[in-house]
Amino acid sequence: MALMGLQETSMTHLELFQAFVAPAIFISAAGLLLLSINTRLMGIVTRLRAFHKDKHLAAIAGKKQDVVVLQAQIESIENRATKIKNAFFCTLLGTIGTMITCLMLGLTLYVPQALIVAVLIFVLSVLSILVGMLFYISEVAISLSSEKEEEQLYDLMDVMSEYADDKR
């Protein structure tokens, strides 16, 4: 009888160890995803700062057309930054949820009902990471169109500069 109880306890520990593996894999995968999102966010922020500086310099120089063109680009980049921020937030929230899942699974050794909460948190965490990835995909999808738009705006600025030079 004592052996039977020992086997059940060992099985519980083995099952617990197996249950820890899935959240741990999600934490690792989400960490890599967060690293990628953060790198993209920093690139967007750097670009946004450059556009703000260019806009400020154009305003000081009295180049109103350049200011308007740069403002349009700033708004486009801010839209992308919002998508990346949302991707970062949802993925981070999902990562925190998977960590809480691990803690809840450990708690099931003492409170078996915690398993229900752990499963619920894990499902919500995976959904949060999925939403984060959808935001990330939507930003990547518009990034190329944003680049084309930027190219057209620079062409427009060049034409306006040539026109202004010809008027002088």
User: Structural domain boundaries of the chain?
Assistant: 24-167
Predicted model pTM? 0.74
pLDDT (tens digit per residue) in 68-97: 888 888 998 999 999 999 999 999 999 999
pLDDT (tens digit per residue) in 90-119: 999 999 998 998 888 888 888 888 889 999
pLDDT > 90 in the chain, percent: 42
Task: Please calculate the CA angle 92-95-97 and round it to the nearest 5 degrees.
Answer: 110
Confirm if 104 and 73 have CB atoms less than 8 A apart. Answer: no
Residue/partner pairs of 112-119 with CB below 8 Å, 24 or more apart:
118/19
